[in-house]
C-alpha cells in the first residue's frame, strides 16, 4: 500500500504526517515514511511525503541519497478511522499553501473560467 501526500513535516504543523504514518503502522507491520524535502527550513515549508506499508519485507530499501529522510513512526498515536478523521482540518493550511504555490507557478493558466 502506498500514499503520496503534500504535508508539513516539521513541528508543530506536522500532525497530518505523523498521524497518517501512525495509522498505516496500525495496519501494516512494515512501514516507511519518506520525506522528499527534508531540508525545508521552516515550519511553513511544504514537503512531499511518501508512505509505504506492507505485510512483509521487502519494501524497496530507502537509500537517503537524494536529499530524502525517513520519518520516525510513532506507534502510540490514535489511528485515523472513519469515526475519527481530523485530517481534512489539519490539511487546510498545507492545501491552501499548495494551491497558492501552483497559482504562482502557473499564473493565470491555473484559474478556471
The verdict on pTM exceeding 0.85 is no
100 C-beta neighbours (distance < 10 Å), count: 10
Among the listed residues 112, 105, 1, the one whose alpha carbon sits nearest the alpha carbon of residue 53? 1
CA–CA dist 36, 49 (Å, integer)? 6
Q: What residues does each domain of the chain span?
A: 2-110
| pLDDT tens digits, 47-100 | 888 898 999 876 666 665 666 778 888 989 999 999 999 999 999 999 998 888
Amino acid at each position: 500500500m502506498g500514499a503520496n501526500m503534500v504535508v508539513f513535516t516539521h513541528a508543530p504543523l506536522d500532525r497530518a504526517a505523523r498521524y497518517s504514518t501512525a495509522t498505516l503502522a496500525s495496519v501494516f507491520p512494515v512501514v516507511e515514511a519518506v520525506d522528499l524535502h527534508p531540508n525545508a527550513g521552516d515550519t511553513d515549508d511544504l514537503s512531499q511525503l511518501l508512505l509505504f506499508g506492507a505485510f512483509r519485507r521487502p519494501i524497496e530499501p530507502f537509500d537517503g541519497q537524494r536529499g530524502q529522510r525517513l520519518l520516525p513512526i510513532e506507534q502510540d498515536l490514535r489511528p485515523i478511522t472513519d469515526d475519527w478523521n481530523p485530517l481534512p482540518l489539519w490539511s487546510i493550511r498545507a492545501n491552501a499553501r499548495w494551491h497558492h504555490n501552483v497559482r504562482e507557478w502557473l499564473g493565470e493558466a491555473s484559474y478556471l473560467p
